[in-house]
Structures are given as C-alpha cells and as structure tokens.
Chains A and B, each alone.
Chain A
Amino acid sequence: MLHTVTRITPTPARGAQALDERLDGFRLELRRGCLVLAVLATLRDQEHYGYTLRKTLALDHLDIDEGTLYPLLRRLETQGLLVSEWRDEDKRSKRFYRLSADGAVALRQLVGEWQALTASLQRIV
C-alpha cells in the first residue's frame, strides 16, 4: 500500500524554537525524577524547612522553585516518605521536614537504582 506523506518543512527560526521546546521537555522529565532523590537525600541527615532546603539544593547547583518544591514535599509526605512539623524559629513559624523510616528505605533503594542507571548510561553515552 502506498502512502502519500506531505511533510511541512519548518522555517529555520520556527524549527529552532520547536527544538528548544522539545529539549525543555526532556530536561524537565530528566530533572523530575532526580529531584525526588535529591530532596530525600538532602533530608537524610538533617531536617530542613522549605527555604533552607532550596538554598541547600541551590548550593549544589540544583535550583528548584517554590512552585515545584512545596507540592513535591507535600506529595512525599502524603506517601509517608517524609514527616513534618510546624515550629517557631527566628520569630517565624516554619514547617520542618525530615525523612521517615519508610523514606530512608525508599532512599536506599532509589540510590541503588540511580547508581545502576548511571553506570549503564556511562557505558552507553
């Protein structure tokens, strides 16, 4: 069976823009999975509230905005991987997060997965 395919050739400017958009999408997907691991690992040894957690991650060149971090923290807490409590510090009320027992188990497994994946990717790339 024959198919007639009409291909619309994008103009160079539009093509570059579409590629950028696709790359942004890939970058987002790549980061999304890593952020869970980064957040759990950062809260492994020390509790944090949102602002200091963002600062700590930013120091390691992992910038994450409030609109991504807070819903993620809430989701991880709902899943039982984090626990939180409101406390006053420096005259401000802050919500401190730390890793739960289930979170510690999940982190160990995720780190194992991450290491295996990185080793595979390094061989491939």
Chain B
Amino acid sequence: MELIERYLHAVRHLLPRGQQDDIIRELGEDLRGQVEARQEDLGRSLTLEEQEALLLPLGHPAVMAARYRKHSHLIGPLLLPYYVRTLEIALLVGTVVQVLAAAVTMVSGAEPAAVFRSLGNLPGVAVTILGWVTLAFVAFEYALRYVTPPTWSPRALPPLPAREPTVSRRQAIGDLIGHVLFVTWWVLLPSRPMLAFGPAAAFLGFGSPLGVIYLPVLLTGVASLLIGLLAAVSPVAWGRAASWWRVASQCVTCVVAAWLLRADQALVVITDASLVGQPGDVQQSIAVALRIGTVVVLVITVVEIVKSLRKLLRQPGKPVTV
C-alpha cells in the first residue's frame, strides 16, 4: 500500500493546515478500505499497477487537494498552496536579508537614523515581494486555462520521507528570529558596550577574554542563523540537522563558559580609574557575580544538552504516518 500512502502524503501537504488530519484520515480510511476489499476478493496483495489504477481516477494530488479549498478570485485553489508557500519563503528570506543589511549598516559606524531607515524599508520590501509573487502566480493561473493538464502517474509521486521533522515551521521561524537578534547584538557589542551594561557602560568595559571568545561565538551564531534559515524554509529536510546543530552550539557555550571560569583575566573590567581600589572592591564583586552567573549558565546548558540528546537518540525519528 506504499503508493496509497505516498498519494495521501502528497495530498496532505497541499490541504488547508487546520483540516489536514481530518481530511487525510477520512480519505485514507476509504482508500485503505478499498484496497483491503479488493485484496480479499483477489486473495492476494494488489500489484503496483492495480494500486496505480485505483489512484489515477482521483486525479493528481494537487487536483484532489484543490477540491477541498474554496475558490479564490485571483489565484485558484489549484495554485493556492504553492502560492502561499512561495510567499512565506520569499518574505522570510527578504526579512532576514533586510535585518542583516541593517546590522551591517550599524557595524559600519552609521548613525542610528540610517539604521532605522534601513529597517524602515522592511514594509516596502514585503509589499514588493507580495506584489511580484502575486503577479507571477496570477499570470501562471491565467496561462493554466490554455494549457492541457499533463497526464500524471502515481508512480512519479515522491517517496515518503523516512522521518518526521523534529521542529515545526513555527518553532523554526521563532528560533531564526532569535538567532538574527543574537548575531546582531553580538556584532554590535564591542563598539556599543551599553548593549550589555546599560548606563553602567560609563565606567564598565570588556577585558581581554572577550577578544578570545568573540570569533568562536560569532561563527557559531552565524552558522545557527544559516541552519535556522534552512530549517524555516524546509523543516522536513533541515529540522533534524537544526536539532543536532543546537546540541553542537550548546557544547560551544559550555566550552566558552568553562574557559571563562578558568581565565586569569576578568571579562568585565572597570574603566573609570577613580573606582579602582575603592573600599568594597567593585571589581571583585563584579568578578564574583559573573562567576556565579557563568556556573549557572554552564549547569543549565549541560542539562539542556542531556535532555536534547536523550530526545534525539531515543526517538531517531518517527516513521511518517498519513
């Protein structure tokens, strides 16, 4: 019945999201019922040709899914799922590019107004993407009226994916936004210490350990951002890789935290000479607070790594059910 399952899987991804389970359950029960009834009559399993003959009258998965959608005026139900998916991906990529461009503007020492202007282009970029994608699909929809639909073969359906994605698209997009914010913050940190210290930046600064950890943390952040982008575009293909990368980046966090605990120099130093050597030694107090904070981060990260690994190793991926 593999061909039936592949058909149902292909239909599922083109249905309205809130109705996928219900529709596929009903359609699946009917098709499996038909297969079992025929197998009982024949006293053997159906051949590939017989399964194909059962599916052909139902139409291509896109045609079947389109029958469950309401007709929209500009873009018909056949193209609607592809339109929505293309729009999601294009808007996501456009937003990431725009935010990175704003970060680069900021790092290059531009005035805050220039950075806000760069971010202010975001709605315009989104509207432009919406316009072009819509225009392209309207043209495609129009062209479809004059094209005889090609014959389709159930055998050409893509195979069932071996594993379900370990992250949902919504979760992947949330993670991606987190990565973009973190990388932007980290890139700006050396030139704008107030992003870490607030008003205390007037008398606090970073010590030499920041120079040692800066590049590894930046590279890890950028790699997380890129993998996060891929996972947001295709959770099925990249969700599992993103989960493993999360564990790897948590390991980097542990190494950085452990190194900071052993470092001879303080990560945060007092830059105002009048405060050094005062009674109650502020420098010492900050060092103790940072040490406690680093130990807490280290313990939490190790616990997270163990939890993530147990989840990934215990469930190497549920087989896909439709």
Interface residues of A (CB under 8 A from B): 49-51, 65-68, 70-71, 74, 92-95
Contact = CB atoms under 8 A, between A and B. Distances in A.
B116 interface: no
Contacts of A74: 23, 68
Interface of B: 23, 25-27, 29-34, 57-59, 63-64, 67-68
B30 A66 contact: yes
A71 B27 CA distance: 10
B58 A70 contact: no
Nearest to A94: B29
Nearest to A90: B33
Contacts of B33: 51, 92
A92 B58 contact: no
Contact of B30 (A50, A68, A71): A50
A70 B57 contact: no
A65 B58 contact: yes
B230 to A, nearest CB: 34
Contacts of A70: 23, 26-27, 30, 68
Contact of A93 (B29, B34, B58): B29
A74 B27 CA distance: 12
Given A67-B58, A74-B23, 13 more contacts: A49-B29, A50-B29, A50-B30, A51-B30, A70-B27, A70-B30, A71-B67, A92-B32, A93-B29, A94-B29, A95-B25, A95-B26, A95-B29
A68 B59 CA distance: 11
A67 B59 contact: yes
A17 to B, nearest CB: 11
B86 to A, nearest CB: 24
Nearest to B64: A67
Contacts of B68: 70-71, 74
Task: Give the interface centre of B26, B29, B63 by most chain A CB atoms within 10 Å.
Answer: B26
Nearest to B19: A74
13 contacts: A65-B57, A65-B58, A66-B27, A66-B30, A66-B31, A67-B58, A67-B63, A67-B64, A67-B67, A70-B30, A71-B67, A92-B29, A95-B26
A94 B32 CA distance: 12
Task: Give the interface centre of A67, A93, A94 by most chain B CB atoms within 10 Å.
Answer: A67
Contacts of A95: 25-26, 29
Given A71-B68, A74-B68, A93 B25 contact: yes
Nearest to A71: B67
B67 A50 contact: no
Nearest to B58: A67
B14 to A, nearest CB: 13
Nearest to B32: A92
B202 to A, nearest CB: 64
A47 B157 CA distance: 35
Contacts of B32: 92
A74 B67 CA distance: 11
Q: Which 5 A-B pairs have the closest CB atoms?
A: A71-B67, A71-B68, A67-B64, A67-B58, A50-B30
A86 to B, nearest CB: 8
Given A66-B58, A71-B68, A92-B29, A51 B34 contact: yes
